Amino acid sequence: MCVVVTVGVCTKNSEKTIRQSVESIVAQKYPAELIQLIVVDGCSKDNTLSIIKSIVSTASVKTEIYSDGGKGLGTARQIVFKNAQGKYVIFVDSDVILFDDFIGNHVDYMEENPDIAVASGMPVLKEGLLQEKTLIARLYDLVKCSADRTGAVACEATIYRFEDLRRVGGFDEKIKGAAEDRDLIARIRLEGLKISTNKKARFFHKQRENVRSIWDELSWTGYGDHYYVHKHGNVALWRKFPAAEFIYFLKLTSGAYRQTRVRLSFIFLLPLIFGNIAWWAGFTRGHLNGYGHAP
């Protein structure tokens, strides 16, 4: 029986979250013989690999494990693409937990919509995990959403039609970290291919646990965006300038105040400004390192 869907998990030092993520993949209602699981490890120094191996050793899903040799996320994603046997490729981040009907719903959606090249899943609060929505998690949501106003589709739980991935050449292996998904989507859009969201493909995304981890992620995003900006050159970077961001943030918090009449709404200006500073810290580091600059 032929593989229908390849699930790619690109991970590094994720021992705190990887168990639930991989377990949710191998526990899918979709027939195991139709799934190919490809794990690409980024030279983890913790127990990530041993946890994965212990889970897949007793699972029915065919699993292949590779290393990206420390080359980064662009290479890791491309390893999945080059070894994929499925008609569809689903990328699942190592901090994502899938509902057990996720793969089936995603495949059905693509079969019913042959003109769609990419469909993102629907992040929700999973029953029994409401305690994850801590104050830090709420701040993370707010800052994360404000960090990117381009409507980009992330790889966190997204399905791609393999033929369309091949059409654009897959992922850019020069990308070491963030923005590898934004870069791919930009090239897919240039081909005039359709992108959508499948609301039935539900998943839970575990949020960052503390302020430092939020800073690290947004700084990492800024670093990746430096490469993206130099490659595509079509980004309104002025919108990220502190003054412009402040006006945008003020508009967000003012809207929240008008709806709630709670003055505390304006306190959210602080995490939004914090997120902007973190992004610029990463973007500046990318510039100083020449990341994305022409040779």
> Which pLDDT score, from 0 to 100, does residue 265 have?
59
Mean pLDDT of 50-75: 95
pLDDT classification of 238: cutoffs 50, 70, 90: low
Domain extents in the chain: 5-209, 211-295
pLDDT classification of 150: cutoffs 50, 70, 90: very low
Kindly report, residue by residue over 187-234, the tens digit of the pLDDT. 999 999 999 999 899 998 876 667 788 888 889 989 999 999 999 886
State the average pLDDT for the chain. 84
Which SS3 state, helix, strand or coil, does residue 44 take? coil
* DSSP label at residue 94: T
Q: Among 190, 183, 194, which Cα is nearest to 232's?
A: 183
Q: Evaluate whether 175 touches 224 at the Cβ level (below 8 Å).
A: yes
**Is the confidence at residue 295, as pLDDT, over 60?**
yes
What is the distance between the alpha carbons of residues 41 and 44, in angstroms, rounded to a whole number? 6
Q: For the CA atoms of 243, 247, 248, 253, what is the dihedral angle to 10 degrees? A: 130
User: Could you please report the per-residue DSSP string of 256-290?
Assistant: HHHHH--GGGGGGHHHHHHHHHHHHHHHHHHHHTT
**Is the confidence at residue 261, as pLDDT, over 70?**
no
More confident residue, 265 or 251: 251
Q: Could you tell me whether strands 62-67 and 35-41 are parallel, antiparallel, or unpaired per DSSP bridges?
A: parallel
Q: 261 — alpha (psi -120 to 50), left (phi > 0) or beta?
A: left
Kindly report, residue by residue over 90-107, the tens digit of the pLDDT. 999 999 999 999 999 999
**Residue with token string 């701040």:** 139
**Is the confidence at residue 163, as pLDDT, over 80?**
yes
Q: Among 74, 100, 104, 70, which Cα is nearest to 90's?
A: 104
Mean pLDDT of 61-87: 96
What is the distance between the alpha carbons of residues 43 and 99, in angstroms, rounded to a whole number? 28
How close are the terminal C-alpha atoms of the chain, in Å?
A: 47
Kindly report, residue by residue over 171-189, the tens digit of the pLDDT. 999 998 889 998 999 999 9
Q: State which amino acid sits at residue 233.
A: G
More confident residue, 136 or 55: 55
User: What is the CATH superfamily name and number for domain 5-209?
Assistant: Spore Coat Polysaccharide Biosynthesis Protein SpsA; Chain A (3.90.550.10)
